[in-house]
Amino acid sequence: MTDHYETQEQKYRLKNLDCALCAAKIEKELQRTPGVRSASLNFASGTLALDTDNLAAVRQVITNIEPAVEIEPLERYLHNEQDANPQDWPRLARLGIAAVFWLLGLVFHARLHSLLFGVAEYLILGSVYLLVGLDVLKAAWRNLRAGNWFDENFLMSIATIGAFAIHEIPEAIGVMLFYQVGDYLQDRSLAGSRRSIQSLLAIRPDQAHRKTADSFETVAPEAVAVGETIIVRPGERIPLDGIVSAGQAQLNTAALTGESVPRRAEVGDSVLAGMISRDGLLEIQVEKPFAQSSVVRMMELVEHAANRKAKTERFITRFAKVYTPVVVAAAVLLALLPPLLLPDARFTDWLYRALVMLVISCPCALMISVPLGYFGGLGAASKQGILIKGANFLETLSRVRTVVFDKTGTLTRGVFKVLEVAPHAGHSAEELLEAAAYAEASSTHPIAVSILKAYGKPVDYTRISDVEETPGKGVCASVDGVMVSAGNDAYLHYLKISHEPECCELSGTLVHVTRGGDDLGYIRIGDELKPESLPAMQALRAEGVQRLVMLSGDHSVIAADTARDLAIDNAHGSLLPEDKLRLLEDYMHNTGHAVAFVGDGINDAPVIARADVGFAMGALGSDAAIETADVVLMADDPIKVAQAISIGKRTRRIVWQNIVFALGVKLAVLLLGAFGIVNIWLAVIADVGVALLAVLNSTRVMGGKQR
């Protein structure tokens, strides 16, 4: 399901990109440009992801389509102030002057028309028209020469020039003026939306205080090497991943996990870049270079997500390429056929109706609001500590009706403890526990950790050799030259070690320990539910999830008990990784909706990758989880699965509101214009108003409250 990013991809900012249709054309042209291996342009964020050795050709393509657009390297994760648009005041002044002269023209229209046989009217009002619309005319001509027809500049130019031709001069100026004012408001709204989204990503640490012999020096995070020590003062953001070597503090982790509850950090604790020290001075020994830190990986994940388009987004792009030419052709036929076929039909009347159709036909409302809606959804999710790897997965989340969970570490704490040490006759509890500890000493499994903790003594690793771990069963090792094993009942059968028949009937999480082929006894291990697990199941039901499933490697009796406590529909226990994959595929084949799987991102990597949407739970700082999952939950909280589904459904709902609203208004105005009921004034107001409202509606994705 997921892609692995190992390309030469670079990110660029496209400055002054305010035309959604132009953005789609740029992306399409770049994808077939020699020397460009991949190109993905995200209009909502104004960024271009490129894998190319021919940047000069890229610049030429962009210039040919939209000369005003400038391409520049993207300074990752920093809030870019260019969207503030320093050209606002000259633009507003020009529009204000044009508006004043247009109003004067309306008042003195009759007198101007009578001067010099109407020449004065064309000279004065024509000058006002050029003042407000010259840049639109230039853009239309430039695009025509480049073979790019049917954009908003072309449509507005033809409509207003046509109005001049039928001597509707004040109307032509008014239409262009309203269009420019609406375009300005739309640009400001779009820029504001981009800034609100980008602000979520502006958590990149700018500096680090590297410890020296007698003080510290402030350097860029990139300049700090692994093993060096940095100092983080109260109120500062941790710049690199590491281990606390001195001090203690309450850490604000909201930027990474979306959680408001602070986390305590003391000596020996791992801390991650992006966390903020609230009240203490910390000394941190750096474990990873800045490029591999959690905050950088998180930001890269969000950036890459913006370039994975949803099916709806791709459909709208294809639709716009067909829709606009069809409407233009219909407008031409509307202007020409009725005067030829209908008696007493005046050409100027029908031309005017055709001009109304041209004004309303621009699909900008769709081309802007749809990608902006998806980008807002990705931003809203990241704000909650939910990293969704693309708009395509965001859309799939809205269709999830079956959620399959791993048990250990996902619904339970995954912090095991030894509940019982049961040696067989002739062996002691100490002997049994020591053998198990030495067998498990090289394993990182939570069960192994609990056994070593219960043993409570240092392990002499020089006594251990030939360690072999079998996933889902157990581990064996040579200890003092004697083979020692620790695993479940299936592992005893796998090793063909004779044991008491009643051992096969015992329930619970049991670790059977053998030495030299002799069954020493078993150790019973316990786990406990996370307090968030039951509310998470209830929240998923509230979001429309119809079936909850649990797949576990634990004994079937334990799996059934856990499922009963959480009101889970189906539970399967005693599973190997391949069994989980087989059962997941069965559920996927037997349902008509999307199926999600939630696991820890390491042991369940194949199942996570196979699901329609794979979740990695509690994956903060986990490379394996980020590589495997489609959705990375930075906090170890299952209720975020319901939040992700909620955001997916909300995003899709808002996107389709925009689609239905924009197409509905445009279709209504097209029909009313064809029958002569709507004039060109209302057409331009409807066109600009629809685009503006659709953009504003898209921003609701960011501000909506989730369950």
Would you name the residues annotated as active-site residues? 406
Q: Which of 636, 633, 540 is nearest to 595 (CA)?
A: 540
Beta strands across the sheet bearing 518-526: 417-423, 518-526, 509-515, 482-487, 474-479, 464-470
The torsion angle over the Cα atoms of residues 438, 440, 446 and 450, rounded to 10 degrees, is: -20
CA distance 689 to 698: 14
The string of DSSP letters for 407-430 reads STTTTB----EEEEEEEPTT--HH
Q: What is the DSSP letter of 102?
A: H
Q: What is the DSSP string of 107-121?
A: HTHHHHHHGGGGHHH
User: CB neighbours of 352 closer than 8 A, spacing ≥ 6?
Assistant: 162, 163, 166, 168, 676, 679, 680
Dist. CA 612–CA 631, nearest whole Å:
11
Residue with tokens 């949803």: 310
Separation of alpha carbons 573 and 489, rounded Å: 13
d(CA 623, CA 297): 9
Q: Which of 130, 119, 124 is closest to 108 using CA atoms?
A: 124
| Residue 499 CB partners (closer than 8 Å, separation 6+) | 492, 512, 514, 519
* Cα distance between the two ends of the chain: 27
φ, ψ of residue 493 in degrees (nearest 5): -70, -35
Q: Determine phi and psi for 406, rounding to 5 degrees.
A: -75, 160
Spatial distance between the Cα atoms of 225 and 291, rounded to a whole number of angstroms: 11
Integer-rounded Cα Rg, in Å, for the chain is: 33
DSSP-assigned states of every residue in 355-408 = HHHHHHT--HHHHHHHHHHHHHHHHHHHHTTEEES-HHHHHHHTTEEEEEEEST
Element (H, E) at 92: helix 88-107
Compute, in degrees rounded to 10, the torsion defined by CA atoms 391, 393, 398, 403: -160
User: Are residues 387 and 302 in contact, defined by beta-carbon separation less than 8 angstroms?
Assistant: yes
Please answer whether residues 295 and 203 qualify as being in contact, where contact means their C-beta atoms are separated by less than 8 angstroms.
Answer: yes
Do 238 and 276 meet the contact criterion of CB atoms below 8 Å apart?
yes
d(C-alpha 269, C-alpha 413), whole Å? 19
Nearest to 361 by CA among 330, 316, 315: 330
* 3-class secondary structure, 600: coil
CA angle 507–510–514, rounded 5-degree value: 130
| CA dist., res. 262 & res. 249, Å (int) | 10
